[in-house]
Amino acid sequence: MLAKKAGAPVKLEFTRKEDYVAVHGRWPTKQYYKVGVKHDGTLTAIQFRGYSGMGPYRKSSGDIAGVELYQCPNVEKVVFPVLTNMAVSANFRGPAYPQGIFGIESLMDHIAYQLKMDPIDFRLKNMTRKYHDELPYTSFGLEDCVLRGAEAFEWKKRWHAPGAGDGPVKRGVGMAMGAFGAAVGRSSAVIHLNSKDEYELHVGVTDVGTAAKTTMALIAAEELGVPLAKVAVVSGDTEVCPYFSGRIRQPDHYAHRLRSDSGSEDLKQQIADKGLPQGDEIRTGSATPDPAQPKDSARYAFAAHFAEVEVDTELGHVRVVNISPCTIAERIINPLTCISQVKGGSTMVSAWRCTKNCCTTPRMACR
């Protein structure tokens, strides 16, 4: 409103306190579980009741995920989104999962400890093989994540019962599984080519830190057989960009892969029919794919993260010594961004210092 009245750009700058008070974050939760398990470690029942603090109104679902990571014949899950006197809650990096994964995985660790089972063995015995024990996954990589991650982390060598070792400083390892839905949706792309051999790709996606714009340019450049530098991307502007089904539904690279490919094919066909543009001419290719969400299978991505932590039991100081994330992926279009997303998600969990002597700044482990 100030920009409109002043006729000039306005920059809004919050203090850190104002940022926490006035800007939405992930919804806080309270979680209550009852779990039935046999002596051999087989889960028999999970009862979960959760409460999500949503602020003064509902902006997001308020769901608490994680129970579906385990196959179990008897499951009851009830989540209550609660209106509270606080800043509104909304999506933040895997909306329903960080809270729920923390809850369910902490509990499963406790159960494995009570049963004197290796947490890896417990999860391999009970992890999901079908979504809600009903729908097969389009591809299933969770078991591979756990096994390959444990091998890279040297889990068998590092793991021991809690409390082992002399002295107040204790070192232990832990792991957790994760998953996230990969829905698809309708979207569009428009690609323009002018006589200067410059390409302009218009897509509706809004880049929220996943380098989606760069990835769209990579796809178009590959399909058209031109250098990446020749492809400019215009995105997120409803005045000049085509329809996009919404960032919240996670269709970025799947739907946009289809739409960018198809738009490129349309443009290539026009060039073949009419030749390259001359003078003020512009060749335009477009596509509006509408991939259907599979009804007989579930599309999910999977991960397993491993960490080694040092705790001073007298002073309370905690130091993360090592983190080894393992994420399953199909064809990776933008490897640098993919790796950066995994590193970013890990470092948001904990700020820590690498134990190797190759640098002096906090960073991810070199492995």
Provide the 3-class DSSP secondary structure of residue 87. coil
The 10s digit of each residue's pLDDT in 22-57 is 788 889 999 999 999 999 999 999 999 999 999 999
Query: Are the beta carbons of 234 and 201 closer than 8 angstroms?
Result: yes
Residue 348 CA: distances (Å) to CA of 126, 218, 343, 355, 364: 28, 28, 9, 18, 11
Mean per-residue pLDDT of the chain: 84
Residues 6+ apart with CB under 8 A from 336: 211
Nearest to 347 by CA among 324, 328, 363: 363
Query: Are the beta carbons of 287 and 188 closer than 8 angstroms?
Result: yes
The 10s digit of each residue's pLDDT in 83-111 is 998 888 888 777 888 889 999 999 999 99
The 10s digit of each residue's pLDDT in 142-181 is 999 999 999 999 999 999 877 777 889 999 999 999 998 8
Residue 17 CA: distances (Å) to CA of 20, 21, 84: 5, 6, 19
Domains recognised in the chain with CATH numbers = 20-127 (3.30.365.10), 139-182+293-367 (3.30.365.10), 189-287 (3.30.365.10)
pLDDT > 70: percent of the chain: 90
pLDDT, residue 246, reads: 61
Provide the 3-class DSSP secondary structure of residue 28. coil
Looking at the DSSP bridge assignments, the partners of residue 235 are 203
Average pLDDT of span 218-241 = 88
pTM above 0.85, yes or no: no
First-to-final CA distance of the chain: 49
- Regarding predicted confidence, which is higher, 17 or 76? 76
